[in-house]
Chain A
Amino acid sequence: MFRQLRARFGGPLAAAILTLLGIWLIVMVTLPQLQMIDYSLRPNLLPAQVGGPDDRLTLGNYATLFSNDIHRSIFLKTLWSSVLVTVLTLVVSYPLAWYLAKVATPRQAALCILLLIIPFWINEILRTYSWFIILSFRGPLNEVLMMTGLIDRPIRFLSGDGGVMVGMVYAYILFMVFPVYNAIESLDDNQVRAARDLGAGTVRTHRRIVIPHAKPGIATGCIMTFMLAAGSYAVPALLGSPGSRWFTQIIYNWFFEGGNWNQGAAYAFLLLVLCIGFMSLVMKLFKVGLGDIAK
């Protein structure tokens, strides 16, 4: 790498770039992570006890999750809900990506992509808040539904997981649409035409031709959406009810309310392990490698 950089930028500049990169990777990424691993493996002690006889390595913080029924159920619920968010986002994004890649004229596609991106110029918290307003008990959605006579009393959208699902699908849709769109776009139109010509209907054409081709894009979108959903804090905090707590909120509480960084670090690592596990599972299921996803 140094040789390539030197060929392009000259020795001193290349050395500077690599040094900065090294500092960033080591100081900003690796060391803090190691520090957190270290935290997670030590008991939560008073400052006076640090370095004392009680300050020894232990897996106790990790064990807490498995002994605490509430935390464990929230952990599993986060896993399950994130999978659900991922699936819902895919269901919403796939037709959109198909439309953008193969049906829309270039003009329509450009307009559509612009409309998709514009909301993302606004801060995530504000966007999530607008959903809070839309979905609230006396909010516009209930008003409209009442007015059209579809319901005769307002629905509490925000009491269950519904609000969180809607908020997350909305927040992460671009991370699904774009990889899937890219993948579908690269499909030769004649493949679809050939399938049609051989008698395949719409569903079969997608199932046998388009989806297998778009698999790397779908895998990428699913992994990104899952990671973002599992690690999301703002959406469940704003749109969730007390009954739909997210694991990130537990981690947050350990750090900033319980003041127990050691416990929080252990929980954070468990979430990371969950995400990596999910990613490996998806890659195995879709039979794609890291290289396909990086594309």
Chain B
Amino acid sequence: MEGSVRLDEVVMRFGDFTAIETTSLTIESGEFFSFLGPSGCGKTTLLNIVSGFLVPSQGQVHIGGEPMAGVPVNRRPTAMIFQNLALFPLMTVFENIEFGLEVRGVDKKARREVSERLLALVALEGSGPKRVTELSGGQKQRVAIARALAVEPRVLLLDEPLSALDLKLRQHMRAELKTIQRKTGITFIYITHDQGEALTMSDRVAVMSAGRIQQVADPMTLYRSPATGFVAAFVGETNRLEARLIDREGKRIRLDGGVLGELAGCAGEGVELGNGERVALYVRPEHLKPVSADAAGPRLEGDVEAVHFEGASVMLETRLSASGETLRVQLGHEVSRQYADSLTVGQRMTFGYDPADAVVLPDDRPVVDETTGEMVEERTVTGGAHVPSA
């Protein structure tokens, strides 16, 4: 069954406010696709456009190659799992799961067979006659999944369904959702603001900000080669350092970090940069390692301001001696044991990194006059709005 979803130059406006800027995107049949972004970025609006609850101001939605314009919610081959699940509290588990089949006129016996099978799939055998109000959070979650799957959707839409669960259960449900998706082969479109969920479950992730898709990529690419500063900062943790581009050799870029001295990194995905241009260098905390003060390659010297023990690793907050900026450094188990003596507040340390791990992107922040706080110059984002279509 064809479950691809194609958005053709979709725009969504509410009055003067543009919730979704022109967006084109294709989600493949059978793909686990996530929209990741902070609240208010438009991801839920996009989901509502696919499900049919909202009609886009412009553009077209195709599901399985068929245009969806004029097709109402109850006739679309999609099923939604709501953030609050929206199980029917006055019905039993069976009745909830069978509701969509009842609507379609499936007879009672066949309905019961389907719901039994789905209860087995979500590991809730025997809970059918219970009222949904008697179930725990995780069980309700499973019933919601079974209810949505009962109508055999081509596309399953999930609107932050795990957000109400506690951490352990959430992690467990992630794995379970992924398994269910693989077993059923249905296209999953998953909405979340939790990067952990998006990265662990998805085949591809679209990172959204302010109604715009920033980057569409598989989780690893997203993490290793973010296409915009927003993606670099939103997905995982990162340190941002401003610099000027000296020259580039293939992917490798030499940078003038001003008071920080010479730095280096690699150009981000599909980013065009010119010599002398102002850029931002993103280095993740776990890519920084303590080195000796005279080591080769880029070096950053700072004073330890705080040491956070996080179990598997140690997070250092350091202040760069040269510029006063904060640099966060994450040391793995081995390294933190090796440097155990130095990990005290006030200690001066030098950190280095492999330039292959650091990403250089255009400096997409407006330049602010430090004395007045006013914006001096607004730079356009060069690589930002570029959305590769799959």
Residues on A facing B (Cβ under 8 Å): 188, 190-191, 193-201, 204, 208-209, 212-213
Of residues 72 through 103 on chain B, the ones whose CB sits less than 8 Å from some CB of chain A are 72-75, 78-80, 82-84, 86-88, 90, 99-100, 103
Name the residue of chain B whose CB is nearest to the CB of A198. Answer: B100
Name the residue of chain B whose CB is nearest to the CB of A204. Answer: B103
Complex interface: chain A residues within 8 A of B90 (CB): 212-213
Number of residues in B with C-beta < 8 Å to the partner? Answer: 23
Inter-subunit contact A197/B73 (CB<8 Å): yes
Which residue from B74, B80, B87 sits with its C-beta under 8 Å from A200? Answer: B74
Known: A193-B53, A204-B103, A208-B99. A198 touches B147 (CB 8 A): yes
Say yes or no for B183: interface residue by CB 8 A criterion.
Answer: no
- Shortest C-beta distance, B125 to chain A (Å), equals 22
Complex interface: chain A residues within 8 A of B99 (CB): 195, 198, 200, 208
Inter-subunit contact A196/B73 (CB<8 Å): yes
Inter-subunit contact A190/B86 (CB<8 Å): yes
Inter-subunit contact B104/A194 (CB<8 Å): no
Main DSSP-derived SS at the B contact region: mixed
- Shortest C-beta distance, B149 to chain A (Å), equals 11
Known: A198-B147, A199-B74. A190 touches B82 (CB 8 A): yes
Of residues 144 through 165 on chain B, the ones whose CB sits less than 8 Å from some CB of chain A are 147-148, 151
Roughly how many angstroms separate A208 CA and B99 CA in the complex, as a whole number? 9
Say yes or no for B202: interface residue by CB 8 A criterion.
Answer: no
Inter-subunit contact B74/A188 (CB<8 Å): no
Roughly how many angstroms separate A209 CA and B86 CA in the complex, as a whole number? 11
Complex interface: chain A residues within 8 A of B53 (CB): 193, 196-197
- Shortest C-beta distance, A287 to chain B (Å), equals 11
Roughly how many angstroms separate A60 CA and B84 CA in the complex, as a whole number? 63
Of residues 101 through 118 on chain B, the ones whose CB sits less than 8 Å from some CB of chain A are 103-104
Roughly how many angstroms separate A201 CA and B105 CA in the complex, as a whole number? 13
- Shortest C-beta distance, B327 to chain A (Å), equals 44
Name the residue of chain A whose CB is nearest to the CB of B159. Answer: A190
Complex interface: chain A residues within 8 A of B75 (CB): 199
Complex interface: chain A residues within 8 A of B78 (CB): 197
- Shortest C-beta distance, B93 to chain A (Å), equals 15
Roughly how many angstroms separate A200 CA and B74 CA in the complex, as a whole number? 6
Q: Give per-residue flags for B52-75: 1 if the beta carbon is below 8 A from chain A beta carbons, else 0.
A: 010000000000000000001111
Beyond contacts A190-B84, A199-B100: 8 other A-B pairs, Cβ-Cβ < 8 A, are: A193-B53, A193-B86, A195-B88, A196-B72, A196-B74, A198-B74, A198-B79, A204-B103
Complex interface: chain A residues within 8 A of B84 (CB): 188, 190
Inter-subunit contact B103/A199 (CB<8 Å): yes
